[in-house]
Amino acid sequence: MFTLIRNAHVYAPIEKGYLDILVCNDKIVQIGDHLMLDLPDMEVIEAEGKILLPGFIDQHVHIIGGGGEDGFASLIREVQMTDCVSCGVTSVVGLLGTDHHAKSVETLVARTKALREQGMSAWCLTGSYAYPSITLTGSVARDIAFIDEIIGVKVAISDHRSSEITPKELARLATQARTAGLLAKKPGYVHMHTGSGKKGYSDVIRVLHATDIPVSQFRPTHFDLNYPGAEEFVAMGGYADFTTGTDTAATARKLKNAMSRMRREQMTLSSDSNGSFPQWDENSNLIGMGIGRMDTLFDTVRHLITDHDVPINDAITLITTNVAQALQLYPRKGTIEVGSDADLVMLDRNLEIDTVMAMGKIAVRDGSLCVRNYYDYQ
């Protein structure tokens, strides 16, 4: 099946000008100026006046729901495919949070498979906040090496809900993930929930100074340049994953400031969608609860563009190219090139999501969903 997107203003994310994009099944097969094509069953999408971007990648999503910090009633629902594509997200990485009792790696992998079956790209992480890591096969390394969907491991550091993993244990975990990743051609990284605790990133810095483990194996999320060790971590070349939060305008200001203090290529952005957003007092007592939303992902990027004059091609790398490169998915994901997956997002003149294509299939058209979840058909 062929789809021709005609006369779109393409940011790949580098600005390419006005071009036609030809999609065949799930791949981009031709890019050019005024393509003259006569192909059987070809659908034409007129994109004049609209901006075409690579599909967004959200690498921190609680696809089976987070929560559990305020009783079983606080467990959050799972993510649906339509939740993702309606926000322009065509690829996700799912993970667990504090709760690995009512939630499991088995259920996480199953939900990852379900999202794939429904037409989008999905991966997940083994482990949770806890250490030793919970796994599917009994081993972090075996999970990464032999479970197709699993590309790394999660753990929590510098947080009162963590297992207080030691630098030696953190180094061993990173080595296990790295060697398994090399075998399976995966990033094999350690995705670290980082709280606002006293240590910050200091334990990670200790490991990097004491061992030969590359900085790329450690991926702190909820990143904050004001935490202990943060400046040194980015100076060593580490990826820093910022979280959108609930106040996207404030997050955009934080990102703009970070862009003046570190290389933009090291910066990524994720939503923490369907995760719990607990509020704690000074004694770590729970005083409120919120939920992460995926629509904050592009909303934060839009604030960067409209409020802080960050060029579109720079702003969107935080949720496209940079993430794809960090996850070893580039140039399959995160760009608009011949041979790349046909994951595309079209914006209207107001920078609102107009059309979304996931793996070559139209999921959103003219701002309205045109796909449904499994039980929506029943």
Active site residues: 272
Helices (H), the chain: 81-85, 105-117, 140-146, 167-184, 202-210, 230-235, 248-259, 296-308, 312-315, 321-326
Other beta carbons within 10 Å of 141: 22
CA distance 241 to 255: 11
Q: What is the pairing mode between strands 361-365 and 368-369?
A: antiparallel
How far is the first Cα of the chain from the last one, in angstroms, to the nearest whole number? 27
CA neighbor of 84 nearest in space, from 95, 76, 93? 93
Q: Which residue bears the tokens 């696809």?
A: 63
In terms of Cβ atoms closer than 10 Å to its own Cβ (0-12, 13-18, 19+), residue 197 is middle
CA distance 221 to 235: 17
Phi/psi of residue 19, nearest 5 degrees: -140, 165
CA neighbor of 88 nearest in space, from 278, 282, 269, 232? 269
In single-letter form, the type of residue at position 115 comes to L
Q: What three-state secondary structure class fits 329?
A: coil
Q: What three-state secondary structure class fits 160?
A: coil
Whether the Cβ atoms of residue 98 and residue 128 lie closer than 8 Å to each other: yes
Beta bridge partners of 219: 191
Phi/psi of residue 117, nearest 5 degrees: -60, -30
CA neighbor of 275 nearest in space, from 133, 154, 147, 131? 154
CA neighbor of 153 nearest in space, from 183, 174, 179? 174
Write b or e for each residue in 160-194: b if 16 or more Cβ atoms lie within 10 A of its Cβ, otherwise e. ebbbebebebbbbbbbbbbebbeebebbbbbbbbb
CA distance 62 to 28: 30
